Amino acid sequence: MGCVVLERKIKQISILLGLSFLLLSGAAWAHPLKMSSALISQNPSTHMIGVEIRVFTDDFQLSVLDAMEKGAVPVIRDKSKRNLLVESYFQKYLVIGYNGKIVPLKFESIDFDRVQNIYKIKFADVFLKLKENDRLVVKNTVMLKDFGLSQTNRFSVLIPAFQFKAVEAATVEKHYFTYTMGETRE
């Protein structure tokens, strides 16, 4: 029960951090804050890893268009298949590795908050039974290619089975995060 409460609090803090500086304009250049906020968490009883991310709608749309234009993600014009576009984008720019293997990100849902100008994107949970000395790596380059030093990607990693929690920032200079299960971190 305590892990669920902690997870909710971290989600709330991540949202507040991301939204506290938000200007309610629709134009990407009109808001100086360039940020995404992600939560990567494991349910200790089911061993399922969940991933959800919040991005400014306008910034994300510009980034996806640029990625399509440069061939980094496939061009998908059919609206009924836009989920594949979102999935392709995040498979390229938010990579979660486990002992040298890639954790697949399968698009599950997207919610649009018009007032906050934010997409909340959820991916399907993935079974991942972590054990001592397993290595988790997160590479988060979401929108860094578009906004450079202006972009910061905050993410929280919660692994209750190892009493591990971290809140990190990915930037152009440092966009990798690694953790070995059972390792002591300062």
> pLDDT at position 23, please?
33
Is the full-model pTM beyond 0.75? yes
**Exposed/middle/buried for 30, CB within 10 Å: 0-12, 13-18, 19+?**
exposed
Which residue do the tokens 């397993």 mark?
134
Domain ranges of the chain: 2-180
What is the block-wise mean pLDDT of the chain (186 residues), using blocks of 10 residues?
A: 55 42 39 86 94 94 87 82 88 93 94 92 95 93 90 92 90 88 81
**In 3D, which of 33, 34, 39, 62 has the Cα closest to residue 138?**
39
> pLDDT at position 54, please?
96
Q: Please answer whether residues 73 and 82 qualify as being in contact, where contact means their C-beta atoms are separated by less than 8 angstroms.
A: no
